[in-house]
Amino acid sequence: MSGAAAAQHRGLGQHATHALLLLALGGLLFYVTRAVPEVHGGLWTIASIGFLLLAGTLVSELVAPLGLPHLTGYLVAGIAAGPYALRLVDEDTVRALSPVNTLALALIAFAGGAELDLAALRRGARSLAWATLMQCLVVYLLVTGVFVAARPLIPFARALPPPALLGAGLLWGTLAITRSPSATLGILSQTRAQGPLASFTLGFVMMSDIVVVVLVAAAMAVARPLLDPTTTFSIDAFKTLGHELFGSVALGTTLGLFLAAYLRLVNRQMLVVLLVLGFVVSTILDYLQFHPLLAFMVAGFIVRNLSQQGKKFLEYIEQTGTVVYVVFFATAGADLDVPLLRELWPVALLLAGARAVFTVGAARLAGRLAKDAPSLRTWSWSGLVSQAGLALGLAVLIAKEFPTIGTPFRALAIAMVALNEMVGPVLFKLALDRAGETSREAAPSLSTIPPPPATD
């Protein structure tokens, strides 16, 4: 047997082993949940985390030969185990996992900021500027127009008078220009991609969140009198926005300086420090009504670019990478409302498809105006399709601020985000492969992940 044939045989054997192990674990948990249906509590939550972690990793190994990203495997494992499929993880357990997701998002934001190199951002400033203008203005206006035009297909929009319909469309447009830092970082972590496309996508996705936050405040201020004629336009929203942005950046800068000093002077039990900071600072930010994603991203950026500890900080973050992404996206899959997606998929598919088409067109136009390299002109849109936590968070905020359309608006947003969450990572990985930026090194797997290094 040749070396290639032997390697292929070993690969098939590993995949078969993974499939059998997944079936055995799933069958055991299926039996336990049916035999003791009332089981709940802290131990069950921990067991659910362990199962999602292992199941997500195993499924990602099984979909990898198909060219699909690991994130797809994590999501599929979560959906299959979730309350709308096999019910291995029920609704109460998904809610109990919320603090774990908060911590995961904090670590993802740390990683995002630490990956942003100031010199690289300066080199790509022209591309980022044109892309931001096209994606956050042109796409916003076009998607708003599609929402208004699709009024007959949107149940809650049919009864709205024209001004209110325009207000709802402006709010929908803000959802269309949100991206997914977590999905972007997850794909880059798996593929170890390096090149113009990887650098551009990371910089754009991280920086565009700030623009989106500003546009959300503006859209809400304009939409309020359109949806409720008894109210008038107010600049209070912009005052609140200024407070939130300034506070988030200030707290993130302080946290970044603290981490840099700790790495230089102490550098002990850093993983524990990151976990504690993720929980504690997230709680403080929620209380102060600041933006956790922005604050943690600023902290990582400060450590990377304004200190000598950036490389060391990235090494610690990477040690948590695989576990964080598996838990975060497997839980997101478990929380996916499959019946709602089944009910709203036609209009959600229309809106998601229009968003994708406009995103591609705006990216191509921005690439020409910025005189980007051919590969970047071709594929710069690929990392901008994914959506996740930020879009869902905005949908919840809009539902709270505009109760007349809140519940159905949020439901439609969840359906659209679910589609983009499944398709976006696949497109981005495909583009990185086609652009030749994917690392030749094998992505981490069950057989290649080394044990965590011992800490002092």
293-312 residue pLDDT tens: 788 888 998 998 988 888 88
Q: Please indicate, yes or no, whether residues 74 and 113 belong to a single structural domain of this protein.
A: no
Q: Please indicate, yes or no, whether residues 238 and 355 belong to a single structural domain of this protein.
A: yes
Look at residue 445 and tell me whether its pLDDT is greater than 50: no
Look at residue 9 and tell me whether its pLDDT is greater than 60: no
Q: What stretches of 335-381 show up as alpha helix (H) in DSSP?
A: 338-370, 374-379
Q: Please indicate, yes or no, whether residues 45 and 157 belong to a single structural domain of this protein.
A: no
Q: What's the pLDDT score for residue 443?
A: 47
Range of the domain at 109: 101-328+335-434
Look at residue 51 and tell me whether its pLDDT is greater than 90: no
Q: Confidence band (pLDDT; 50, 70, 90) for 453? A: very low
Look at residue 165 and tell me whether its pLDDT is greater than 50: yes
Q: Please indicate, yes or no, whether residues 216 and 304 belong to a single structural domain of this protein.
A: yes
**Secondary structure class of 260 (helix, strand, coil):** helix
Residue 441 within any structural domain of the chain: no
pTM beyond 0.85: no
Q: Please indicate, yes or no, whether residues 135 and 74 belong to a single structural domain of this protein.
A: no
Q: What's the pLDDT score for residue 343?
A: 79
Residue type (1 letter), 407: T
- Condensed to tens digits (0 to 9), the pLDDT of residues 34-44 reads 766 666 556 67
Mean pLDDT throughout 212-229? 84
Q: Please indicate, yes or no, whether residues 57 and 137 belong to a single structural domain of this protein.
A: no
Residue 396 within any structural domain of the chain: yes
Q: Please indicate, yes or no, whether residues 86 and 115 belong to a single structural domain of this protein.
A: no
Residue 452 within any structural domain of the chain: no
Look at residue 367 and tell me whether its pLDDT is greater than 50: yes
Read off the CATH number of the domain in which 182 is found: 1.20.1530
- Condensed to tens digits (0 to 9), the pLDDT of residues 325-334 reads 888 788 878 8
Domain stop point among 63, 96, 129? 96
Q: What's the pLDDT score for residue 8?
A: 52
Residue reference for tokens 């044939």: 5
Residue 113 within any structural domain of the chain: yes
Residue reference for tokens 């054997």: 13
Give percent of the chain with pLDDT exceeding 90: 24
3-state secondary structure 156-211: HHCCCCHHHHHHHHHHHHHHHCCCCHHHHHHHHHHHCCCCHHHHHHHHHHHHHHHH
Domain stop point among 78, 96, 114? 96
Q: Please indicate, yes or no, whether residues 225 and 297 belong to a single structural domain of this protein.
A: yes
Q: What's the pLDDT score for residue 98?
A: 79
Look at residue 455 and tell me whether its pLDDT is greater than 50: no
Look at residue 403 and tell me whether its pLDDT is greater than 90: no
Residue 429 within any structural domain of the chain: yes
Q: Please indicate, yes or no, whether residues 81 and 109 belong to a single structural domain of this protein.
A: no
Q: Confidence band (pLDDT; 50, 70, 90) for 447? A: very low
Q: What's the pLDDT score for residue 428?
A: 94
Our count of domains for the chain comes to 2
What does the DSSP 8-state code read for residue 308?
A: S
Extract the tokens encoding 409. Answer: 């608006």
Residue 443 within any structural domain of the chain: no
CA angle 88, 94, 244 (to 5 degrees): 160
Q: Report the mean per-residue pLDDT for the chain.
A: 82
Which of residues 5 and 151 earns the better pLDDT score?
151
Which of residues 322 and 270 earns the better pLDDT score?
270
Neighbours of 365 (CB within 10 A): 16
Backbone angles phi and psi of 88, in degrees to 5: -75, -25
Look at residue 446 and tell me whether its pLDDT is greater than 60: no
Contact between residue 141 and residue 354 where contact means Cβ atoms under 8 Å apart: no
Q: What's the pLDDT score for residue 42?
A: 60
Extract the tokens encoding 56. Answer: 């997500």
Residue 369 within any structural domain of the chain: yes
Cα distances (angstroms) measured from residue 136 to each of 157, 176, 212, 363: 24, 9, 7, 11
Q: Please indicate, yes or no, whether residues 186 and 83 belong to a single structural domain of this protein.
A: no
CA distance 50 to 48: 5
Residue 448 within any structural domain of the chain: no
Q: Each residue of 428-453: b (16+ CB within 10 Å) or e?
A: bbebbeebebbeeeebbeeeeeeeee
